[in-house]
A and B are shown apart, each in its own frame.
Chain A
Amino acid sequence: KQEVTQIPAALSVPEGENLVLNCSFTDSAIYNLQWFRQDPGKGLTSLLLIQSSQREQTSGRLNASLDKSSGRSTLYIAASQPGDSATYLCAVVRDRGSTLGRLYFGRGTQLTVWP
């Protein structure tokens, strides 16, 4: 069974810091990995998707990397802002035939950026 772990569970930083969120997964046979953002009381918003053949993806101040062989991904947020405060979740899609398309989620990292 695929298990996804996110460290740290919570992070509180001052505005302007560069920060790294970590995600690890137990089964390296993945199709892709996705990072999401969830604001309190809201649904999830897709941030980045990395295909298994890719090493990284960038969107604005966000950069996600993938090391499939070691089962790790990192989300790098540059020059953090209070508006970045949210819970960040990673999810992997297994590359296993009939279960292709199922996502396995980590429990998230709750980020607080204070002014």
Chain B
Amino acid sequence: NAGVTQTPKFRVLKTGQSMTLLCAQDMNHEYMYWYRQDPGMGLRLIHYSVGEGTTAKGEVPDGYNVSRLKKQNFLLGLESAAPSQTSVYFCASSARVSRLAFGSGTRLTVV
């Protein structure tokens, strides 16, 4: 049972490049989330999804897009990366409003 799997684990991008972060969960969870964690800022919600085919904005959605085409996958896209998007990104999932399971994170550096 893999839980929540994030790929890639590390990435370095040049300003203006695009990339997609993939989150996959095998627990049949309805809810999925993308957070970013920055020193001194804590965890901030980027986007979330309460079911397949639905997405909603969180606290800091600008510069990111998401898609939930399949229940088990939640993709986070950066269309034109900026240095301000250097962060650690965490995906999480839960069965409706219950305990969250987190992935191990993706360290993204934008130079």
Are the C-beta atoms of A46 and B105 separated by less than 8 Å? no
Q: Which of B33, B101, B102, B104 has the most CB of A within 10 A?
A: B102
Nearest-neighbor residue (CB-CB) of B3 within chain A: A43
Indicate the size class of the contact surface on chain A: 20 to 34
Q: What's the dominant secondary structure at chain A's contact region?
A: strand
* Other-chain contact of A46, B41, B43, B100, B104 (Cβ < 8 Å): B100
Are the C-beta atoms of B105 and A49 separated by less than 8 Å? no
Indicate the size class of the contact surface on chain B: 20 to 34
Are the C-beta atoms of B48 and A102 separated by less than 8 Å? yes
Q: Which residues of A contact B92 (CB under 8 A)?
A: 44
Q: Which of B33, B58, B97 has the most CB of A within 10 A?
A: B97
What distance in Å separates the Cβ of A97 from its nearest Cβ neighbour in chain B? 12
Q: Which residues of A contact B73 (CB under 8 A)?
A: none
Q: Which of B33, B40, B100 has the most CB of A within 10 A?
A: B100
Give the CA-CA distance A108 to B38 in the complex, in Å. 12
Interface residues of A (CB under 8 A from B): 31-32, 34, 36, 41-46, 49, 89, 91, 93, 100-103, 105-108
Interface residues of B (CB under 8 A from A): 4, 31, 33, 35, 40-43, 45, 48, 50, 58, 90, 92, 94, 96-105
Contacts A34-B100, A36-B102, A103-B33 known; list 10 others, CB within 8 Å: A31-B97, A42-B104, A43-B4, A43-B90, A43-B105, A46-B101, A49-B98, A91-B100, A102-B48, A107-B41
